[in-house]
Amino acid sequence: MCHIGWAQAEIYKSVDSEGHVTYSSSPTKGSKKLDLEPLPSSLPAASLPERVERTRNNTSSYGFPKVDNGMQRSRDGTRRKILEDELSAEENMLAEARQNLKDGAENPETSAGKDGKAYRNTAKHDEKMKFLQGQVSLHEKNVGALKTELSNLK
């Protein structure tokens, strides 16, 4: 008998000291593993006798009790609400990061010279702009990931 293996990526969520949320497939310091249910299409196919036995016992192939449609809709609704809340927060952080990037571009870094005059500090400004652009990119990726996850819901 041939068995088909299956895999599901683990997703980790971390929030930095400034409240920025990052999702990753590998754990980082302080990250928390999200407990997401596997997609039905990722379950291995069961043989006919296994399906009959599961139906008779009212359990899934992994020994978990079956969930009635009302309960599943409730769970799906809760999951959608959580993802929508996360998306809203992430979109707000993206708007803030974009504003910070714009402000950073409009306000170049300066430092005082020996003569007391203010001079542009190009290296410091470039470093700041790189960081701010990184923040925008991070939030754009998170928004995209959350939108993809929401589009996968029924």
Give the pLDDT confidence of 5-29 residue by residue, as tens digits. Answer: 455 568 888 888 888 888 888 888 8
Range among 38-47, 65-74, 95-104, 107-116 with highest mean pLDDT value: 95-104
> Which pTM value belongs to this model?
0.54
Nearest Cα to 48, choosing from 90, 1, 16?
Answer: 1
- The Cα 45–Cα 4 span in angstroms is 7
Task: State the pLDDT at residue 72.
Answer: 86
Nearest Cα to 16, choosing from 129, 148, 139, 105?
Answer: 139
pLDDT tens digit string along 31-55? 888 877 666 554 455 555 555 555 5
pLDDT tens digit string along 124-149? 999 999 999 999 999 999 999 999 99
- The Cα 76–Cα 150 span in angstroms is 11
CB contact set of 59 (below 8 Å; sequence gap of 6+): 65, 66
Determine the straight-line distance between the first and last CA of the chain, rounded to whole angstroms: 34
- The Cα 127–Cα 20 span in angstroms is 19
Q: Render 102-131 in DSSP notation, one character per residue.
A: HHHHHS--EEE-TTS-EEE-HHHHHHHHHH
